[in-house]
Amino acid sequence: MNRPPAPPADLPPPSPKLTEGWHCLHLYYRVDQAAWRQLTPDQRHDGCEAVAHLLDPERPGAPQRVQTSVVSGHKADLALMIMDPDPLLIDGLRQGIRASELGTVLIPSYSFVSITEVSEYVPTVEQYAARLQQDGIGPDNPAYAPRLKAYEQRLPMMNKQRLYPDFPDWPATCFYPMNKARHPLANWYTEPFSVRTQLMAEHANSGMKFAGKVSQLITASTGLDDWEWGVTLWGRTPQFIKDIVYAMRFDTASARYAEFGPFYISYILPPAEALAHLQLT
């Protein structure tokens, strides 16, 4: 009898939690005004209190990150971004909203499931050293050692932010999903890794020009949702979000190979203020 091979001994135990990084859920709701009108004043009050409590990032048992914002435009009214090691804790917040008095009022209109990751295109220290030399900055150059040392020191902090991000205290946020193209004349997945790495380095350099203006988080969704990545941007002002998206579209990685889904722009508010903005009081 043929038996399946034994699994490797170093496999982690079965778990919905990740070995590193967090699960991420972007969740969008629209307000059903007819359902709101059917609630009694007490139901409205209790529902708003319950939802505001669920969305409080400081409450005991809350997911690691909970962000509430109000959406500009007709696609949705309320936006949530939730992150935690446990996807069931994230889903518990969604189910809590559904089970509340506002469950018939807040109707899900869009969601996106993803996880944090350190991209394969983030250079290691050794790859960064090779890139410096490709740029003409070799070991005999006085700038070589300081630049390499600086990168070595900041790489762990950058990777920690990619896996366990802190959200900036800025008012505007934008989310959109994206793919890399598989067109016969522009197929990202048939390009050599060296070419893809070079294109992503160019793309990253464009983004660095917006340091202090825009913060970005890329989460991975291959096998988890209909798109391959989710892009979340935070801006000091909405203008900076528009500027970075426009500027980076001229990079070859974007201009030739990127496919974009719907864009959601929203403005961050505490939960109770967000509900009041939606006139759910």
Q: What positions carry a catalytic annotation?
A: 176
Query: What string of DSSP letters covers 57-117?
Result: TTSTT--SEEEEEEESSSS-SEEEEEEES-HHHHHHHHHHHHHSTTTTTEEEEEEEEEEE-
Q: How far is CA 144 from CA 121, 133, 134, 135, 255, in A?
A: 21, 8, 12, 11, 32
**What CATH code is carried by the domain that includes residue 91?**
3.30.70.1030
- The DSSP H or E segment spanning 129 is helix 125-134
171 occurs within a structural domain: no
271 occurs within a structural domain: no
d(CA 263, CA 235): 15
142 occurs within a structural domain: no
What's this model's pTM, rounded to 2 decimal places?
0.92
Give 275-279 contacts, CB < 8 A, sequence gap 24+: 275/48, 275/51, 275/52, 275/78, 277/70, 278/31, 278/70, 278/77, 278/78
Q: Which domain holds residue 86?
A: 23-116
CA-based max dimension of the chain: 76
Taking Cα atoms as reference points, which of 259, 274, 234, 264 lies closest to residue 111?
264
Taking Cα atoms as reference points, which of 172, 161, 168, 247 lies closest to residue 207?
247
91 occurs within a structural domain: yes
pLDDT the model gives residue 170: 98
d(CA 274, CA 271): 5
For the record, the structure tokens of 13 come out as: 């135990």
Number of domains in the chain: 1
204 occurs within a structural domain: no
97 occurs within a structural domain: yes
148 occurs within a structural domain: no
208 occurs within a structural domain: no
Q: What is the pLDDT along the chain (281 residues), one digit of tens a residue?
A: 577 777 787 888 999 999 999 999 999 999 999 999 999 999 999 999 999 999 999 999 999 999 999 999 999 999 999 999 999 999 999 999 999 999 999 999 999 999 999 999 999 999 999 989 988 999 999 999 999 999 999 999 999 999 999 999 999 999 999 999 999 999 999 999 999 999 999 999 999 999 999 999 999 999 999 999 999 999 999 999 999 999 999 999 999 999 999 999 999 999 999 999 999 98
pLDDT the model gives residue 11: 87
d(CA 228, CA 178): 6
d(CA 251, CA 241): 16
